[in-house]
Structures are given as C-alpha cells and as structure tokens.
Structure 1
Amino acid sequence: MRPLDLDADVVELARAPISASRGTPLREMAYRADAWTPQESERLRALFLDDVAIGDIALALRRGRAAVAERIALLGLRRNSTRTWTEFDDAELIRRYGSEPTAKIASDLGRSCSAVYARARLLDLTEGNPPEWTPWEDAQLTEGYRRGVPLAQIATLIGRPFGGLSSRAGHLGIVHANHPPDWSREETTRALELAEAGHRYTAIVDMLTAEGFPERTVRGFGLAVRKLGYGRGWGRAWTSEEDALLRRAYEEGTSLTPLRRQLGRTPGSLRHRAEYLQLRGLHANRNGWRIGPDWTDADEARLRADYGRVPTKVLAVSMGRTKAAITSRANSLGLVHGYIRPFSNDETRALDIAFRTGVSIADLAVALDRKAMSLSKFATNHGYQFGRRPRRTVTLEGLLALE
C-alpha cells in the first residue's frame, strides 16, 4: 500500500469513537438554554480555523473559555497554531504536562503535539511515566496503520515515541500496512526501540541477532525500517518555539540529538534550519561540540611551527591529541604539510642539478627539508634514477649556485 503523504495542516487521521452506554435505553434529553446551536458550532469552527485565540473566541461567542475548549475537543478540531504562548497557556502546560497525554493537552490548548513538546522543553519540563492511551490516540494509531502512514508522522501527530507506537499496536492486535511479511511484532518493536536510542543499523542487526531474532543484512534492515517510515521528516513548518530551541542549543553548545528526537526532525532538517537562521559559529563553546580540549593560542603557535617538520604521530602524542585532531586543526588554519607541499621551480632545478652533479637523494632530501621516500618517488616519476651515491652535506642555495 502506498504511504499517505500528509501535509502540515493534517493533524488528525480519524475521530475517536464515541462510547455509548449499554443495557439502558437513552431517554429524551431535557432542553438546555446554554445548548450549542448549529450556527454557533459553525462560527466556532470558522474562528478556530482562522487561528483565533480561544479566549477571543469565548468573547465573540459570549461563552466561558472552558466551555469553548470543551466544545473544540468534542468537535474534534485540531490545528498547528502560530499564536504566541500566553501566561495561561504556560500555566496550564506546567500543571498538566507529564501527567496527561500530550495529545489531550494539545487538543485543549488548540495546538499540535510538536508545539507542546517544544514549549515544554523551553520551560524545562520533564515527562514522568507515560500516561494511559486515550481513545483518540488509539483511533489515530489504528487509522494510520491501516493507511500505511509512516511511523514518524504518526509519532509526531499523537506525541508518542516509536517504541510506544509499536507496543500499543501489538496490544491492539493491528499490523502496519507496510509491515515486512517475515518480521514478527516483537522484532519490529525491538528494532524501533534500538533505532530510536540512536544505535547504528550495523549495531542493531548484531544486537537483534544476539537476542535470538533472525539474522538480517544491514541493507535489508534499513529497507524494512524505512518502509515503515522511521526517521523520515514530513515537511512541517517550523514554529517559533522550535526556532527558539534550536537557537538555545547553538548558544549553549549542546547536542542536537535529543532535540531532533523530541521535535521529530531529521538531522538535515535541523542543519538547514540552522543555516537559514544563520546560527553557524554562535556556539558558546569555541569549538562547538568537540569532545577534545580547546585549542589555545600557544597550541596553535606550536602547531604552526612544528606541522610538517615533526612527524604528525609524534606531534600528536606530545600535544596530547589524536592525529585526526592535529590534521583537522591544521587544515582549518590553512597549514600545508611540509612533505606534501608542491615542488617549487627552485626545488625542481635543484633536483636536476643534484642528478647531474652526483648528489644523493638522502642529501637532497635534507637540503629541501623533505622525506627521502617522497623525493625519490617524485624523482622517479620525472625520469631521474639516482642509484647509490656517496653522502655529502649540501644546501638548496649551494645546489642552485652549481648551475
């Protein structure tokens, strides 16, 4: 089945089923003066879709804010709001976050789950144990699995992790339309949990095999989880809260991995958004998220003096760094290794003079401050066969004077 391509405006796949009482017949309802008329419901729907604040809707309809919020939930209205968060919204989020499903909070506040997650992270709120699944969440999960909607979209829609989706689907006895035919539900659940934890595909394949699941190839495993929709963004517009979180991560120099999981964004999405917001180079840490020690002016001065003259391995040990760190920093400073720098015209002339005057390769390497093996290879490629020659001390200026 072909996956459904959701756009940024779709925030509900199906309405939650309404449970009716059984055994007792329904009696006629008494007339209520405060009952909602069809005209009021339609006006509420129009104002809500125009992104009008709930408080303003209550004033326009001359009803209480709680009554309007309840009616919005009963009508199944949800949206990706662009409104700024008010003090009331923040207080409500602080009171309910972690104890109620995110989807329920988002519905009452008229916002998306991703917006609620972003705001909660800005307010430094932490989730406790996951709350019980609501009928609305079960309805979205069931419909999403039936249509073959990628799991990344379902997770962002209802505000649940991948592992929670797969576990709940097993409890409900439903199977995703794109579920691999030779995979069990337990294997799928475990694979998504490990993928969400940040493990590489190669490591996940080995872990699953060690746990008794069938042995998979890395290519086959990647195709299977991608078919389910793991790790795929779906073009949601960035909210101001998400931008604020990204700015704070760059200013504080923290890792983007937790932010990527929380917002349901891909690494490429975060990178492109950071470039759009011109956040490069704004880290509080001078060297970004590198684990090694910071480079001081004295370290850089020594690197400039010794790079290319002292073997990189020896230089790395003496400076307490890795060879990769030495090479990376040298490249960022525009340094060229002495043994791999291009041959100048004077060096090429000195090579020709040394060949004609009986100078050995070893002496010529000392005069040119190059490795003998590199110089011998360069000479051979240009048709110079030195062979065995006696050693003597020469300089570049002395060789050029012999011409």
Structure 2
Amino acid sequence: MKYVLVIPDGMGDKPLASLGGKTPLEAARTPNMDFFAAHGVVGLSQNIPDGFTPGTDIGCMSVFGYDPKIYFTGRGPLEAAELGIALEKDDLAFRCNLVTAEGGVLKDFSAGHVSVAEARILIEVLGERLREKHGERFRFYPGGGTGYRNLFIYHKADPGMARIVSTPPHDIMGRAYRDYLPKGKGTDFLAALMTESREILENHPVNEKRAENGKARANLIWLWGQGVPPHFPSYHKRFGFQGAVITAVDLLKGIAIHAGLDVIAVPGVTGYFDTNYTGKAEYAVNVLRSRDFVAVHVESTDEAGHMGDAALKIRAIEDVDRWVLGTLREKLKEFEAFKILILPDHYTCVETRTHSPDPVPFLIYSSREEKRGPRKFCEKTAAESKIFVKEGHTLMNLFVKGGVLPS
C-alpha cells in the first residue's frame, strides 16, 4: 500500500456573503477532490488543540500525527532544522519575518513577498550592524526558500524566555505593531532589536529600489515563534516505512527532518501562486516508486486567505485540484494499491485574513476499498458526515493503520 498526504494549507474557511453563503472550497470547481470524496470517507478533524494559537506549526504537527501538547516546542527550531543549524541546549530559535511598516502600523507580514535575493542582502546587513552594536550573543540566518521567512538565534538565552509571549505578524496586519512587541522576561532587548532594525532597513538601497518600482519596503523585522529543539519519534519507528515531504516551506521541511522523512526538492516550487503544482505531483509519484509514504504541501491556498481575496483563494484551490490531485489521480494508477488523505492544517479566513482554530474537513480514499461518500468535498459535507476526530494528531494513525473513524 502506498500512502499519500496532500495538505492545501489554510484551505478551510467560513461562508462568505460575496459567495452566496458558500466557502471558497464549496464554491470552487474541484472534480478530483469530489471524486475521492464520493468514493471515500469525509469528516472533520480538530487539528488545533484548545489553548494553542492556530498556525501551520500546530496544525501540521497534528496532521503528521504528533500531539502538539507533547512534542511542540516552538516554530523557530523546526525551521532551524531545515537550514541545518545545530542548536545548542541554551539556544532559542525565532522566526524572523521581514515585514512592512508604515508609520506605526504593520501593513504586510511578507513585505510584499520580498525576494530571496533581496532578503538575503537585508538580513546579512542587519546582522552585521546589530552585532557591531550588541556583540555576538545572537545571529540572523536567511531563510531557505521564501524571502520574508528568516531565522534569528539567541545564544545562551535564559530558559524562561521560551515562555515569552510573541505574536504572529499575519495576525496583526493593519494594527499598531508596538502593541504586539514580545512580552515577558528578557524581551526588552528583543524589542530594541526590532525597533533598531527599522532604522537600518528603511532607506537601504534594496528598499529604495523596491519603492521606486512600487513595491513594499521590507523595513522591519518581526521576531516570533520562539522555541528550543524538539524530539519526536520517526515515521520509520512509528509505521515501519520510509517516506518524503514535498514543500516550499521551511517549517514543513523541519517537521520532515525531525520525523525522519526525506525532503524532496522540486524545480519551480515557490510557496506562492506561481508554484510548480504539476511538478510536485510528479515528484510525489516518483517518491512512491522507492518509498511508501509521501506528503505534498501547498502554500498558495493559505496566502490567498491572508490576502483576503476570495476569488484568488478559489483559484488556488482549483489549481491544487487540477494540477496536483488531477495528476495524482491519473498517475497513482501504476501502483497496486494506494490511500490518499486530503486536509488543510487550519482555516485561513478570507474575511479576517488570519487563521482560525475550527475543525477542518478531511477525506480519505482507498483504491482497495471504495466507499459511498458525498458528491462534493467541503466544510459543509464534512460536518454533515458526523465523523469527528477530536484529537487531530490521531488521524494519521487511523489513515495508515486503519480503524473506525470516531463520530
């Protein structure tokens, strides 16, 4: 049996008046998802446990079958793993976004999707200038694949700093950012670095050129998602097979590394609307020729939600359905038997432009044991099924090992 996991990030949403009371998934044309749903099982999965901030870190840890209450130590260390950064026991790893601020307001959590090349220049200059002033107690690292996603490592951090309060920048767009600077023990220094970054970045030649071209300035860093290195059991130990993950997102690559799964590089994968959808599916099939499990993660559905654009989110969902699931539906026929699990990690709501902890729709299809499911895969039909996985991290075990889905 071959096992395929497809994660359209943030695909879940709430009904929109502009769509006649439908969600983007409900309004989208998704013949391939609908085929798998009509011949499979659909339900809802609670990927975000009570008390946790809804995010890709928590949601995807649940999707991959790891209980966040036990294994989650922060987003930063997962991304550090993908960059090959060996963290010491007293290192604290933070996500470091390049963002756009106008006046005192945070306008864009991605700095207009600043390019990787531009981000590398800005992060390197920032690190040099701030270390000249403050010494070698920290270091900045450019991200692996998306310009605005970078990393900050604080050396010899006080253990209590792992419990400080930090806020994801995508949750505070349009708000006064100084109200959301890190809070807790030792955060005055972090807040000072963030404030000083604007003085360094605002008029840097990279930003001057971006402004001349009508692009947003990457003029502020935002530190959040701090944590220490996690430890959790590998997929081989849990399920007895080898597998791989295909994604453009450092966080997912970090989860893969800690789970003992290979990270597969696909040409043209961007984590945005122009990503190589078909290539992801084709490489996934190739993975299954030598392994038994592959996960394909797509970020564009999440990006559209954060942009507050329902039409763009529908298009992203349809692109996933046509180019990823359509390709998989055709090419997986070469294997004797396969199962596919499709679900988002969380909602990314068009109306609020941020995440929501609602239970997400999922579907499971097995080529060996077809069922009778709904004709349409969406939040509504998933709820109507009465199947509800209360602890989302248990769904992967049910998918691989079988068992009765809870109601």
Aligning the two structures, in what range does the TM-score lie when normalised by the shorter sequence?
under 0.3
TM-score normalised to structure 1 length: 0.24
TM-score normalised to structure 2 length: 0.24
Q: Give the number of the structure with larger relative contact order, counting CA–CA contacts within 8 Å between residues 6 or more apart.
A: 2
